[in-house]
Chains A and B, each alone.
Chain A
């Protein structure tokens, strides 16, 4: 059974950066895409971007474009999301979600809490 295992919670200062990992366990890696979706406290879901390793392509939401980088390491079956210039509004749970070329998110990680506070 495919699982997405995410890295642990982070507490960061405003202006710093965070890098969250998402390791695929029990399934293929490069034949899927990997997306990052965040959820601020008490709020809904916000798609940040995604990567399709087999195509070598990434797409980002305009809101975070320029601050977010999504990468994938096929040798370790791990996807990454790095967010720079952190602000308090970036405080959220960050989910990794497996997708495909149809952008259907069928497997999700448990989430990584990122807290941005001075």
Chain B
């Protein structure tokens, strides 16, 4: 199975900050990497698919980059509604696997 490792596991940031979350795969997954946002008590929500494609309705302050084994999710100008937990997921091979999550908290 492909292991997905996210860092950091949590971070504190202020409204307006630029935030970067990293996801590393245990082997190359080319660009088959997706990002989800999960707010407390809610189901996850797809933000970005295949590394850098923004899901319909997702604000443009979210962006993704990377390839191979290292990927990043960037939030440019953190908004109050962005405080949540973010998960990466590889869709290169089955079984699909998720990273451990990064909790973005208010500083």
Instruction: Tell me the A residues contacting B by CB distance below 8 Å.
Output: 35, 37, 44-47, 49-50, 59-62, 95, 97, 102-106, 108-111
Contacts and interface: CB of A to CB of B under 8 A. Distances in A.
Contact of B89 (A50, A59, A60, A105): A105
B45 to A, nearest CB: 7
A102 B43 contact: no
A19 B24 CA distance: 35
Interface residues of B, number: 24
B50 A110 contact: no
A1 to B, nearest CB: 11
B55 A106 contact: yes
B50 A108 contact: no
A102 B50 contact: yes
B15 interface: no
A2 B100 CA distance: 28
Nearest to A61: B95
Interface in B36-90: 36, 38, 42-46, 49-50, 55, 87, 89
A66 to B, nearest CB: 14
Interface of B is mostly: loop
A108 B45 contact: yes
B91 interface: yes
A37 B89 CA distance: 12
Among A45, A47, A106, which residue has the most Cβ atoms of chain B within 10 A? A45
Contacts of A47: 89, 95-98
Nearest to B4: A44
B1 A95 contact: no
A81 to B, nearest CB: 15
B22 interface: no
A39 B94 CA distance: 19
A49 B96 CA distance: 8
A78 to B, nearest CB: 18
The 5 lowest CB-CB distance pairs between A and B, nearest first, are: A103-B91, A108-B43, A47-B96, A45-B98, A61-B95
